[in-house]
Amino acid sequence: MRQFLSVHDVDDVQALVAEAREHKAAPFAFEDLGRRRTMGLVFFNASLRTRLSTQRAAQNLGMQVIVLNTGQDAWQLEFSDGTVMDGGSAEHIREAAGVLGEYCDIIGVRAFPSLKDRTADEREEVIGNIVRFSGRPVVSLESATRHPLQSLADCMTIEELRTVPRPKVVLTWAPHPRALPQAVPNSFVEWMRKSDVDLVVTHPEGYELPPRFMEDTPVEYDQAAAFAGAHFVYAKNWSSYERYGDILRSDAEWMVTAEKMAATDSGKFMHCLPVRRNVVVDDAVLDSPSSVVLQQAGNRIWSTQAVLKRMLEAL
Ligand code: CP
């Protein structure tokens, strides 16, 4: 595997999930594979899970890991070509990415969208330039439009917990006080569409996800109807795609509650974390046995390990 930017970089999702489960069963089976290899993690935005799980995954494969937090530790970067750099930016992405390529065998990048300019966000300028100018394999640690490592861990968690051959999986919008990207739901839809599940997306009107991710995925505007008989409920907030980056509503009507979960078929509650308690989901759900959010977060290690193993083998 030369890069991991979306589900389109994976030929067989089920095989990759199976490999992730093998890593979970035997974390150090390939501890020499990454010996004398270096993974660089570049964060343009905050992270807990992605940062630590990727470090763990790389270390389990014997790699050394170096981390750059661009906000605090690095020079302000310029992305436009032909610019006279007499303003705040001290370094161009062409040199910065090239230098990362000198230091790292594999590069992970987290770069969120602006949520102001949809066309610019969809160009994926940050991660795209690092792919272009580093000359190294690149792993998305969440880009402007996708979070594939999260989605792979989500697939793995559903695979571990499924009780029926083809579970009903509901992706539900939930309220949040801040405007959040569409990356997690976009990606979740993309990966679920390659999985053996019946996916339903539920959200208030105005929160439609981009058609290129949704394709013919069913949308149910009645959250209660969507929850009926669900085996998995995946909650996530996202800002409007149509009125790009806007918050159209933030009332508690769409919060996931124990009463709503009672309509599911012993449904498991999923969320990528971090989650705002009693805004996105109430304590009664999050603290109940139906919540699998910690298992999901734990699986970030093994799913990332499966990806990095394939990338190391392709070096
Ligand atoms: N789920 C997730 O990506 O968490 P972090 O933002 O903490 O990395």
Tell me if 244 is assigned to some domain: yes
Tell me if 267 is assigned to some domain: yes
Predicted pLDDT at 250? 83
Number of domains forming the structure of the chain: 2
Predicted pLDDT at 39? 98
Which candidate, 95, 93, 104, places its Cα nearest to that of 136?
104
Tell me if 1 is assigned to some domain: no
Q: Mark whether 136 and 260 lie in a shared domain.
A: no
Q: How far is the CA of 151 from the centre of ligand 1 (A)?
A: 11
Q: Mark whether 306 and 259 lie in a shared domain.
A: no
Q: Ligand 1: which atom is nearest the Cα of residue 110? A: 8
Q: Mark whether 123 and 86 lie in a shared domain.
A: yes
Q: Mark whether 15 and 110 lie in a shared domain.
A: yes
Q: Mark whether 125 and 171 lie in a shared domain.
A: no
- Check which CATH number belongs to the domain holding 137 and give it: 3.40.50.1370
- For residue 32 the two structure tokens come to 């020499």
Tell me if 205 is assigned to some domain: yes
Q: How far is the CA of 303 from the centre of ligand 1 (A)?
A: 14
Predicted pLDDT at 73? 79
Tell me if 156 is assigned to some domain: yes
Predicted pLDDT at 200? 98
Radius of gyration of the chain (CA): 20
Q: Mark whether 120 and 166 lie in a shared domain.
A: no
Question: How many CB atoms within 10 Å of residue 250?
Answer: 13
Q: Mark whether 309 and 262 lie in a shared domain.
A: no
pLDDT (tens digit, 0 to 9) for every residue of the chain, 315 residues total?
Answer: 999 999 999 999 999 999 999 999 999 999 999 999 999 999 999 999 999 999 999 999 999 999 999 977 789 999 999 999 999 999 999 999 999 999 999 999 999 999 999 999 999 999 999 999 999 999 999 999 999 999 999 999 999 999 999 999 999 999 999 999 999 999 999 999 999 999 999 999 999 999 999 999 999 999 999 999 999 999 999 999 999 999 999 889 999 999 999 999 999 999 999 999 999 999 999 999 999 999 999 999 999 999 999 999 999
Q: Which H or E run includes 268?
A: strand 268-270
Q: Mark whether 131 and 248 lie in a shared domain.
A: no
Tell me if 170 is assigned to some domain: yes
Q: Mark whether 80 and 169 lie in a shared domain.
A: no
Between vectors from CA 287 to CA 155 and to CA 174, what angle results, nearest 5°? 60
Which residue range forms the structural domain that includes residue 308? 7-146+300-314
Q: Mark whether 142 and 199 lie in a shared domain.
A: no
Tell me if 2 is assigned to some domain: no
Q: Mark whether 43 and 105 lie in a shared domain.
A: yes
Q: Mark whether 28 and 115 lie in a shared domain.
A: yes
Predicted pLDDT at 189? 98
Show the ligand 1 pocket: residues with CB < 6 angstroms: 47-50, 142, 150, 272-274
Q: How far is the CA of 87 from the centre of ligand 1 (A)?
A: 32
User: Cα dist. 95→80, 104, 141, 206, 208 in Å?
Assistant: 13, 14, 21, 41, 38
Q: Ligand 1: which atom is nearest the Cα of residue 46? A: 6
Handedness of CA 284, 285, 286, 287 (dihedral sign): positive
